[in-house]
Amino acid sequence: MKTSRRALLRSAALGAGALASCERVVTQINRGLLGEAVPAKLALTTGAEIDADFHLLSRAAFGPWPGDVQRVKKMGREAWLEEQLHPDRIDDSACDLRAERFESIYFSAGDAYEFRKPVLRDEITRHSLLRAVYSRRQLHEVMVEFWTDHLNIDLEKGDCIYLKPSDDRDVIRKHALGNFHELIRASATSPAMLVYLDGKSNKVRKNTADKPNENYARELMELHTMGVHGGYTQSDVSEAARCLSGWTFDRNRFFALNQGESFFNASWHDDGIKQVLGTIIPPGGGEKDLDRLVKIVCDHPSTAKFVSTKLCKRFIRMEPPASAVETVAAEFTRTHGDIRCVLRALFNTPEFAASQGQLLKRPFKFMVSAMRALATDTTAEKTVLEPLQRMGHGLFQYPTPDGYPDEELPWMGTLMWRWNFGLALASGKQGDTRVELWRLAKSLGATNDASTWFSYLTGRTPKPEELAAFKDAEEAQLVGLILASPAFQRC
C-alpha cells in the first residue's frame, strides 16, 4: 500500500518536477498561458499618501504583483476582497505548477517519517515561500502566515518536522479562511500539535496516580483562544486537560487502519465529571469532551476579543485601535468565528482605511513583497531562503508556542540583510532569482526614473528629501535602494 502510494505520488511529483527542473519552461508556460506576465502598461499612483488600493494589496496580500493595483482599481476593492475571501473560485494553476512539485507535502503524518529531515525542512519552506510569492489566493496565503504564527509549531522540536507538513496542509491551509472553531478543533488533534505541546502524553489511566499533562490545555486558552488575561483559572486549565486526556499520536501503533494519524485512546481518558469556565461537562462523554471543550473556549467572549486584537495587530497596526477591535470582535461573536466574515469586517473598518504605512513589514513579508513587485522568477532554493534566516525569520523555526511576534523591535537588528537582499534582488545577484527590470521599466513608461520606481514600489510619490538619496543611481541600484528604503520596510 504504502509503497505504491508513495510511488504514485513520486511519479506525480516527478511529472511536475520534470517541468519544474526546466525552470524556463514553467516560466514560459506561466507567462504565456497562465497570466503571470508583466502587463504591457502599468499605471502609477500619483498621491502623496499611499493609494487605497495599494494599501489593501499590501495588507490583504503580500503586496501587489505587477498589474494588481490596476486590477483592483478596475473591479473595486469590495469585489476584489470578495474574490479573495473565496480562494477556491480563483484559478491558481500558475502557482500550483511552481509549488506542487514537492513530494513530502502530500504525505500523512506517519508516512512523512520516510523522509530525511533536511528534505522535509527544505520542501515545506520552499513550498510556503513559492505559495506566498505566486499564489493568486493572496488573502489565503496571508492568513496561512497568520495562523502559522497563532498555532505555532517549531519544526525543530522533537518529531515535529515529520508532522508539520500535514499540519500545514490539513489544519492551517484547510481552515485558513474557514471557521475558527473548526480550525482549533483540527489543531487540537493534529499530530504535530499533539507532539509540540505534549498532548500525546496527556493520559489519565484508571486506578493510577496519573496527572494530566496541562501544557496544551494551557496554551489552548492562553495563546490559541482566550488570551492570558482571558479570565480562566488554573482549575479551568486542569479541567480542560482532563477533557483532552486520551487524544494521542503513536506512529508505531500496530493493527491500526489510520496508522500515522492521531486517535482517541479511551483507556487514557478521564471520563469523570468536569467543569470548564463554569460549564459542567457530564461524565461519560469520552472523545466528545474535546468538542464540548472547543466550543466552550471558542465561544468565550475573551476569545473573540483576543483573536480580533491579534488580527488587528497584524492587519491594521501594532497597537490596534480599540474601536476596530470592538467591531471585529462583534462580528466574530455574531458569526461564531466565521473567519471570512471577520476579515470582511476588519478590512471595512475606517481604522483600516486610515492606517496606510503604519505597519513594519516582517522579514518574510518584506522579501515576498519585493519579489512580487519585481515579478521575480524563482524556485525558492537555499540561496533565497538563507537571507530569511539571517533576518531572524526562518520559516517554522520560532522556538516557543507564541509564534513570531507582531512587534517592531525584534526585527530591527537585521536591517542590513534586508538592504542586501533588496540590492541583490534588483541587480539579479540574489542566487536563485531572476528579475527583468527593463520589462517593468518599459511598462512603467520611464527608464531609470527614481520618482516612477518609488511610486510603483511604495504606492505613493516620494518626498523631495527621499528623492535626494537616489541621485545618480543607475536602474538596478536605484530599485535596490528603494527596496532598502525605510518606505519599503513599511506598509
Answer yes or no whether residue 445 interacts with another protein by CB under 8 A: no
Q: Least CB distance from residue 406 to another protein, whole Å?
A: 10
Answer yes or no whether residue 405 interacts with another protein by CB under 8 A: yes
Answer yes or no whether residue 285 interacts with another protein by CB under 8 A: no
The three-class DSSP label of residue 433 is strand
Q: Which lies closer to another protein via its Cβ, residue 91 or residue 408? A: 408
Assign 3-state DSSP to the chain and report helix, strand, coil percentages, each to 5: 60, 5, 35
The stretch near another protein (CB under 8 A) out of 13-21, 39-47, 400-408, 451-459 is 400-408
Which residue, among 396, 367, 398, has the nearest Cα to 120 in the 3D structure?
396
Using CB atoms within 10 A of its CB, is residue 392 exposed (0-12), middle (13-18) or buried (19+)? middle
Q: Which lies closer to another protein via its Cβ, residue 84 or residue 489? A: 489
Binding marks (x or -) toward another protein, 324..363, rule CB under 8 A? ------------------------------------x---
Which residue, among 66, 76, 12, has the nearest Cα to 39 in the 3D structure?
66
List 165, 260, 394, 459, residue binding another protein (CB under 8 A): 394
Helix H or strand E encompassing 327: helix 322-334
Which residues lie across from 276 on neighbouring strands? 279
The stretch near another protein (CB under 8 A) out of 238-246, 266-274, 334-342, 466-474 is 466-474
List 53, 154, 289, 377, residue binding another protein (CB under 8 A): 154
Provide the terminal-to-terminal Cα distance of the chain, rounded to the nearest Å. 49
Q: Residue 189: which residues within 8 A CB-CB, separation 6 or more? A: 247, 262, 290
Cell of 290: 474535546
List 40, 48, 209, 409, residue binding another protein (CB under 8 A): 409
Contact present, 34 and 97 (Cβ < 8 Å)? yes
CA distances from 413 to 324, 390, 393, 485 (A): 31, 10, 12, 15
Answer yes or no whether residue 248 interacts with another protein by CB under 8 A: no
Q: How is 245-307 classified by DSSP, letter by letter?
A: TTEE--TT-TT-TTTTS-EE-GGGS--S-EEETTEEE-TT-TTHHHHHHHHHHHHSHHHHHHH
Answer yes or no whether residue 256 interacts with another protein by CB under 8 A: no
**Angle 448-453-454 (CA atoms, 0-180°, nearest 5)?**
130
Which residues lie across from 263 on neighbouring strands? 248
Q: Least CB distance from residue 31 to another protein, whole Å?
A: 24
Number of residues that bind another protein (CB under 8 A): 59
Contact present, 197 and 258 (Cβ < 8 Å)? no
Answer yes or no whether residue 233 interacts with another protein by CB under 8 A: no
Q: Which lies closer to another protein via its Cβ, residue 27 or residue 489? A: 489
Answer yes or no whether residue 465 interacts with another protein by CB under 8 A: yes
Answer yes or no whether residue 79 interacts with another protein by CB under 8 A: no
Answer yes or no whether residue 423 interacts with another protein by CB under 8 A: yes
Q: Which lies closer to another protein via its Cβ, residue 161 or residue 298? A: 161
Q: Least CB distance from residue 395 to another protein, whole Å?
A: 12
Q: Least CB distance from residue 419 to another protein, whole Å?
A: 6
Q: Least CB distance from residue 149 to another protein, whole Å?
A: 14
Q: Least CB distance from residue 486 to another protein, whole Å?
A: 5
The count of other CB atoms within 10 Å of the CB of residue 416 is 11
Binding marks (x or -) toward another protein, 180..219, rule CB under 8 A? ----------------x-x--x-------------x--x-
Cell of 401: 508556542
Residues contributing to the site for another protein (CB under 8 A): 154, 156-158, 160, 196, 198, 201, 215, 218, 222, 228, 360, 386, 389-392, 394, 397-400, 402, 405, 407-410, 412-417, 419-420, 423-424, 426-429, 465-466, 468-470, 472-473, 476-477, 480-481, 484-486, 489-490
